[in-house]
Structure formats: structure tokens, C-alpha cells
Chain A
Amino acid sequence: MSTPRRADAGRIVVVGASLAGLRAAEALRDEGFGGELTLVGDEPHEPYDRPPLSKAVLSGRLTTDRITLPRVRNIDARWLLGTAATRLDIPGRQVVLADGRRVDFDRLLIATGTRARPWPDAAGGGLAGVHTLRGRDDADRLRAALATGPRRVLVIGGGFTGGEVASGCRELGLEVTVVQRGAAPLASALGGVIGRVATGWHRAAGVDLRLHTTVRALEGDAHGRLRRARLSDGTAVDAEVAVVATGAPANTEWLAGSGLAADHRGVVCDGGCRALGADGAAVEDVFVAGDIARWPHPRFPGQLLRLDHWDNAVAQARTAAYNMTHASPNHRVHRALPAFWSNQFGVNLKSVGLPHLADQVAVTQGALDQRRFVAAYGLRGRLVAAVAVDSPRVLDGYAALIEAGAPFPPVLNAPDGPPQLRPVDAEFARPARDEPGGVRGHDTHAPAAATPAPTAHP
């Protein structure tokens, strides 16, 4: 037991100075925290927004110096940017930085997010022309490579980032091949039924889409530049640029030895954003928010969730900040309904709930072969998610039904609904297990972990 102290004083350190870190810092001040506030971030940039990187930035409509996040209020913080945290000493209440500095804290927020999984083979991954896309610098490098007019771009992985990159490259007039392990793009996040619709978007845009296929090897020329990819079906693709979009491991290496329940899937925390130790007990004064967090969502029991979603980073940051400034009996539970959007191939896609949990899907508005439709997802007779394509105004109603635990298929009486709802198998390939270093069909902003709780969780 630590000695009771005033929640509005002391030293708070936030590690990870991006969306979750910045919004948490602002919320801490809003909650009345008047002590010392330090933000540590390894990127040399002030906090910026990532979603446009694979959309407007890639297509050249925005440059990376124009995506800085607004700072909503004064936070009177010490910013330590361009320096990574390399170690966490919980009993000593210190964060150790790469430059040797030590930062003392009374309370800590971990918000170090995830990174793009690199190409697993060092020789292939080290070739000039092989890219990943997570940050500003990645986007600038990729933009520069695309500006040289490569004859073909290879996109490895047909998840959200892969689809957005392929779409952006087609807008630039570049030839694109997408290699997707599963039966369809987006299938691991949204299932095969909607995946087939996404297949249509790719093909209509002129993408050379290779399904049920993986990349075996990336080969370079004598100068170490990418030239060719060998695929699992025995064919080869000539490409000068490749974008690896195969998922996002969590930035937890700096927590090794800290005693927290953390691995490449994230840091386990409780519903109140408190980090858990390897023994499964909440660690006093250490909190987690954003893409790095894995927690039990009260609406979807029996598993730990990790969401690589903008909306979740903002909401979880607020919950963490509230709980960092209030005594534990008054803690809030982070229970925001998962939600995200994607823009690709000129289509706006929005999702609420957790589609990947579903066993069935039914079109509730519009039709799959039209440009606009809504698909509802059910699990054992309950509505768990809805995905809207070019129908951004309808999702609030579905969100309310999911929150209320409404039955599936839902009764909506939507004017543009089909005369009869026809639930079909949602076609998720199961089990969708993490394969370290492997190429997966899903990526950065698909729900990344539907896996059962690790032993560290009670």
C-alpha cells in the first residue's frame, strides 16, 4: 500500500507522445491535475494524426507537415521528444531514457502504441524500396519512392492499411499488386461476405489482387534494390516498391523486466486502464491507453481486446486520465463501443462494435452489389457490430442496439432495407491466431487480438 496522497499533485509521466498521450495529458489537466507533467516521445515530431498517412498524404493531397494534431488546451508540460524510453523501474518509480536520463514519476501512463511489423527476412526487408507505413517519416520515404514512378508497387497484406495504400497508388496512376493470404481483402476484420465486396473495389480500380497467396521472398538487384517478389503460388511479381502491411506488434520492449503483463500483443490492463502485473494484480499508479492496451471490455466478456482505432485511443486516454486523478473506488470503466472508419477506393467505410466476433452477417440496408449498404453482424443471436459502406449517417442507431444487447438479426424497418433479412455465415477463418513474423491478411486498425486471456489475467 502506498501512502494516501493528493491526486492533484505529484509527478505524472506519459510515455508515448502521440494521440493517446496528448489527449491524456490534456484530460489530466482538465481533471485538475496541478503537479508536474512530462511527455516522453521517441519521434522528433510534435503529435500528429496517423490516419491521413495512408490516405490523403499517400495520394499527395496533404503533406506530412500539415497533419499536426491541434493541442486543445495548455498543459504546461515538459516535452521530451526524440528520446525513447528504454526501461521502466516500477519500485524505483523511474523511466529510463535512451540518452541515459532518468525521469521520476508518482504516476505513469503507458501510451507507446504499436508499430508496423517489418518484413521478417532481414535480407529482403533491407532492400531499398521495401517500406512499412506507421509514422510521418515512413510516409515521407514512401511518397518519395512513389514519386520516382515505379513500374509496379507490391502491397503485402490486404487489410485496411494495405487497401488504403493500394487505393492511393492507383490514384497516382501506379500499377499495383496486392498479395493477400486469405480469401479476400479485409476478410480477417470483416469476414468473407464483406471481403468479397472489397475484392470488387480492388479489381474495379485495376489492382492485380492475388488471393490465397503469400510472398515467399523479396529479391533485389546487385545494388540492393528491390526487383522481384516470389509468391507462394510459384509466380513472381516484378516491383520496385513494396509496402509491408501485415499487422502491428505493440511497442512493449521497453517494459521488459518491469514485471508488467506485456508482450507483442500489448500491455494487459483492467477495465479502469490500470496495468496488470505478471501475477494478474493491478499495479498501483501505472496506467495504459491507446493501441498498446489489452483489456476486458464489459460488453464483450471472456477475452482481452486490443483495438488499433483512433476513437479508442482518445476515449481510453480520457478514462485513464480520470482514473489517474481519482481514488480507485470512483474509477470509471473503459467501455466505449469500438468504432473506426476507413476510406479506400473512393468508398467510406465505418464500423461499430466488433465484427470479427460474429458468426453471422445480414445486409440490413441497401444491397451488397450497390455502392451503399449496411451489414449487421450477429453472434449467437445478438447484434455485435455493424459496418456501413458510404452510409455514414446510420450507425448511431446500430450502436444503440449493440449497447442494448439487441437480438440478431435486428428489427429495423429501414425504408431501404430488404423485404426479408437473410443472415448468412459471416465467413471468418478461425482460429485467427497471431503468427509472429508471419504475413497476415489484417493489419493496423483491425481488432488485433481476439485471443483468450493470457495466464497473467485473473
Chain B
Amino acid sequence: MRLVVDLNRCQSYGQCVYAAPAVFRFHGEESLEYDYAPDAGAHREVARAAAACPVQAITLSGATEPSPLSSERDR
């Protein structure tokens, strides 16, 4: 599970922090920080956070392909 937040779009509403406090947090009053690679157990919380973000700033991974590094090694 991977994610990235578009911090240009993010307006620090904090809904993601409520939905997935283990993954999203504020540093200072308005600066969102987050874990790009939360543990699999946080998947549902993160999906809820992405859905709750009022400006849809959270992008989740949708690829099911293996990592580019593993495919490089396999060749």
C-alpha cells in the first residue's frame, strides 16, 4: 500500500488525520506529514482517509504490477 498527498491541493483540513491517525499527522499548525508506505493493516483507514479528503489530495497506489526493481532482477 502506497500513497502520496498533493500538498499544493491539501488545505490542511485534517480529515485524513481523524480517519488514519497512524498515517497522517500535522507538523506545526498547518503542515501535513504522512507515511508514504503504511503497513498493510492500515489499508482500510487509509482508503477511508482518501475518501474523506474534501479536496481529493490523496492518491493511492492502484498498480498490481511487481516493483520495477523486482522486474529488473527477474530479467
B12 touches A71 (CB 8 A): no
A103 CB to closest chain B CB (Å) equals: 14
Interface string of B1-31 (1 = CB under 8 A from A): 0111011101111000000000000011111
A56 within 8 A of B: yes
Give chain A residues whose Cβ lies under 8 Å from the Cβ of B11: 392-393
Among listed A62-70, A112-120, A176-184, A317-325, interface-contacting one: A62-70
Give chain B residues whose Cβ lies under 8 Å from the Cβ of A348: 12, 28-31
Give chain A residues whose Cβ lies under 8 Å from the Cβ of B35: 62, 66
B33 touches A341 (CB 8 A): no
**Main SS of chain B's interface residues?**
loop
Give chain A residues whose Cβ lies under 8 Å from the Cβ of B67: 46
**Main SS of chain A's interface residues?**
loop
Query: Number of contacts between A and B (CB, 8 Å)?
Result: 107
A72 within 8 A of B: yes
A350 within 8 A of B: yes
B-facing residues in A38-83 (Cβ within 8 Å): 39, 45-49, 51-52, 55-56, 61-62, 65-77, 79-82
Interface string of A440-452 (1 = CB under 8 A from B): 0000000000000
B56 CB to closest chain A CB (Å) equals: 13
Interface size on B, residues (CB 8 A): 31
Interface string of A393-428 (1 = CB under 8 A from B): 100000000000000000000000000000000000
Interface size on A, residues (CB 8 A): 46
A254 within 8 A of B: no
**Given A39-B68, A81-B72, A68-B8 contact (CB < 8 Å):** no
B-facing residues in A139-185 (Cβ within 8 Å): none
A285 within 8 A of B: no
B40 within 8 A of A: no
B27 touches A56 (CB 8 A): yes
Q: A17-B68, A70-B2, A71-B65 are in contact. List 20 more A-B contacts (CB 8 A).
A: A39-B68, A48-B36, A61-B33, A68-B2, A68-B36, A70-B60, A74-B63, A76-B65, A79-B71, A314-B6, A339-B8, A347-B31, A348-B12, A348-B31, A390-B28, A390-B29, A391-B30, A392-B10, A392-B11, A392-B12
* A interface residues with partner B (beta carbon < 8 Å): 17, 39, 45-49, 51-52, 55-56, 61-62, 65-77, 79-82, 310-311, 314, 339-341, 343, 346-348, 350, 371, 390-393
